[in-house]
Structure 1
Amino acid sequence: MASGRDRRRTVIVAGLAVLAVLVAATGFGAWYGSDQAVKVVRYGTSNTRVLAVRDDLVTLELTHESGKPGTYWLEWSGSYSMLGDVVSRAPGRVTREVLRGPIPSVGTPGYFGNVPPGDPQVAWGIGFSEIMVPTELGPAPAWYVPGTGGTWVVAVHGQNGRRKAELKILPVVHELALPFLDISYRNDEGAPPSPDGLLHLGASEWRDLEAALRQARTMGARRFILYGTSMGGQLVGQFLSRSPLANLVDRVILDAPMIDVRMTAEQSVRKYHLPAFMAALSDQVVQWRTGIDPDTLSLIRHPPAVRPPLLLIHTVPDAEHPIQEARDLAAAGGRLGWRIQFEPFAQGEHTEAWNVDRTRYDRLVRDFLSPAGGRPG
């Protein structure tokens, strides 16, 4: 029969084992959370399949992506189609209209996504050239679409994104005959890696944006309009805070931007149903792995030194960067005298405002980019 001392020892050992498991799980969760912020990721190429085609209609396997309302693209084997809104649904199936491009064959696996395919020529039939921007880490490719005048639109994509993500805005920019530069930055495909191989959430990457503007100036640019999506918004914010070229920026458009890294981490914790304290732990691991303090990457608590007129677009259901980030930035702008035009979209996931309401999105951008746009009345 076990003595009282033996029972106490058993309880202590069991308690220590449980504690060790909890510590290990917490550590794993914090590391996983930091990976979501700073790990470089390359994505696959298929998330649905073509089940049937008829005339200009295509029926896809129903997935979370393929069933979303709005305008999207299907890419497969080097081809693509622009697809319109949902025409009909059936169990496991969704039918959409083909707006542009070829009709895929039945059985084709494809990638259903919210960004245009390829390059400016492939996506919109707009001619371009590829230039190399000399950054501090080496040359980084950028797409250049010529226009008239000395004010250029420079586009910056988000975390683990690609240049093609910024092509949604190009038809309006091209219509207005503004030169367009769509840049890449460290850790992008074709661009040099960062020294540690990790993302720095804009704290280092803004220097590649600065390098792109310096290159544009050698090509005739005098003033700039910056367009940033997702983490690209934080790059723009850090550029406006730190770069001596910030005063050359006339206007800024941000779409679903990473405005406050701490709030983004808290959103990620909610998304994965983790305890709230994991957000602070993940931020601490990010700081340990990269040397940057995520708490300083808040355009709300640390607004940029240069604050041009800003068109701020954000979808309310965004599960990556919460709409509250945009609301708080708009409120901060009011206190600072920073002219922010905040435009929430009731539908759409992360960076999908254009997809769910292209007409409104294009109108907002067109008005803001017009000669009087973004300027005090």
Structure 2
Amino acid sequence: MIPGMTTSPVAEAPAERPSARRRSPRRRLAVFVLVIVLLLGAAAAGGSYYYSSVLLVPNHSAPRYYDEVFAVHDRNGVKSVTLAENEGTLRPGIWDIRWSTELSGSAQVGEILGRSPGKVERRLLGGALPPIGARVRVNADVWGAGNPRTAFGLDFSEVVVPTELGGAKAWYVGPPAGIEPQTWVIAVHGHNASYTETLRMIGPLHRAGLASLSISYRNDRDAPGSADGLHHLGDAEWRDVEAAMRMALGNGAKRFVLYGYSMGGAVIGQLLARSALAPKIAAVVLDSPVVSWSRTLTFQAEQRGLPTFLVPLTKTISGWRAGLDFDRFDLAQRPPATRPETLLLHGDADTSVPVSAARELAWAAGKLNWPLRYTEMPGAGHVALWNHDRASYERTVTDFITNSVAAAGR
């Protein structure tokens, strides 16, 4: 000790608590798990929001052209085109091919005439001759680049349906001369499509003595947009079909046949459930229809290799964005108030809308007092039953409609 200095006890460093060191790894693990959960949750929410946007946000972007034209032949009057071989160009039946070059165009192709490594030759049935080397795409909506006159030689009118949002364009084709247009077929296209999708059946419907109106609806290129700019999957679009019916009633229509493709089926389902004009519907034709959005979303997730646990979150987000109740769209569980004679058609090779949902509705129809006839076409894809077997499809549909209309007129 130094003289004159006082001493004080030296404070000892507190001993480290053994328990704190033991808890530290657990805390780090808990933080790590929490971060992983938050990241997974954010990824799930982001993926579900993206899936919701695919469903709800209108998409009318320019098409992509995947296939190549290798050759065009004319052998003793039999014209054909040689295309790159793939799943699309090998489909049996009648298809449309379109190309975009300096001179865009379209043609219809039929039976397969021959195959070689990486190539397939198909008969040209009509349309323009595709340029060699052009990139093309295969479409189910044959003559979709045309109109009733170019496809069938039929006179038609471009009319405007006065909807609550504004004017929506449509094609009107009257019945053959001498027939009063009392029964109108109103054709409703599918998701992100246009009324050109309905062109394939305008000719057969005309020959059956019926007037037809192929309509556009909100958020189409040829119709006004909704206030939120989103598809409502049928929950609002049905009012545009009702507007078309009101216009038709003002022009002599007495009864209707509603003809829906894909999402058009969901639109018609909501009209049957909610419109005061539903009793004026003599018959309904549903081609590859969405009869349950919940089942369809789950099926599409499986087809795209997405985890199906995202579907409930996607439905929740979509419901929040567009005010949708997905249970409302399940026609087997929530059948519409009006259930007219219905022809339900579906292909078992559909990769967009599950055929199982159509089978379920067909099975449930008997218990629902719903006079529904179900026709399933083996090997046919989404909205491609006409393409797969044109003669059978046209005969089935026209016989059903003419018989239903005759019964309703008695």
**1:24-75: per-residue Cα shift (whole Å, max 9, x none)?**
2211221122123212111433232211111111011223322222110012
Pick from 259, 265, 268: which aligns with 2:297? 265
State the match for 1:28 in structure 2.
46
- Give the gaps of 5 or more residues in structure 2: 1-20
Deviates more, 1:324-333 or 1:222-231: 324-333
**1:134-162: per-residue Cα shift (whole Å, max 9, x none)?**
00000000000011330011100011111
CA distance in 2, matches of 1:178, 1:78: 33
Pick from 328, 334, 337: which aligns with 1:302? 334
State the match for 1:94 in structure 2.
120
CA distance in 1, matches of 2:406, 2:52: 36
CA distance in 2, matches of 1:113, 1:303: 33
Contact kept, 8 Å, 1:286 with 1:294, in 2: the verdict is: no
2:84 equivalent to 1:68? no
Deviates more, 1:25-34 or 1:151-160: 25-34
Pick from 41, 51, 61: which aligns with 2:70? 51
Partner secondary structure for residue 335 of structure 1: coil
Matched residue type, 2:130: P
TM alignment of 1:1-377, pairs within 5 A: 4=22, 6-45=24-63, 46-55=65-74, 56-76=79-99, 77-116=103-142, 117=144, 118-147=146-175, 148-149=179-180, 150-371=182-403, 375=407
Contact kept, 8 Å, 1:69 with 1:85, in 2: the verdict is: yes
Contact kept, 8 Å, 2:186 with 2:258, in 1: the verdict is: yes
Partner secondary structure for residue 172 of structure 2: strand
Partner secondary structure for residue 68 of structure 2: strand
| Deviation of the 1:375 alpha carbon | 4.7
| Deviation of the 1:6 alpha carbon | 4.9
Matched residue type, 2:66: N
Partner secondary structure for residue 370 of structure 1: helix
| Deviation of the 1:193 alpha carbon | 0.4
Identify if the C-alpha distance between structure 1 residues 86 and 182 changes in structure 2 by more than 3 Å, giving closer, same or farther: same
**Percent identity over paired residues:** 39
- Give the gaps of 5 or more residues in structure 1: none
CA distance in 2, matches of 1:4, 1:249: 75
CA distance in 2, matches of 1:212, 1:127: 20
Identify if the C-alpha distance between structure 1 residues 89 and 24 changes in structure 2 by more than 3 Å, giving closer, same or farther: farther
Matched residue type, 1:66: T
Matched residue type, 2:201: I
Contact kept, 8 Å, 1:172 with 1:365, in 2: the verdict is: no
Deviates more, 1:356-365 or 1:168-177: 168-177
CA distance in 2, matches of 1:4, 1:256: 62
Contact kept, 8 Å, 1:40 with 1:187, in 2: the verdict is: yes
Contact kept, 8 Å, 2:98 with 2:138, in 1: the verdict is: yes
TM value normalised by structure 2: 0.87
Contact kept, 8 Å, 1:283 with 1:294, in 2: the verdict is: yes
Matched residue type, 1:63: N
Contact kept, 8 Å, 1:257 with 1:321, in 2: the verdict is: yes
State the match for 2:8 in structure 1.
none
Matched residue type, 2:121: T
| Deviation of the 1:11 alpha carbon | 2.7
Deviates more, 1:7-16 or 1:184-193: 7-16
| Deviation of the 1:374 alpha carbon | 8.2
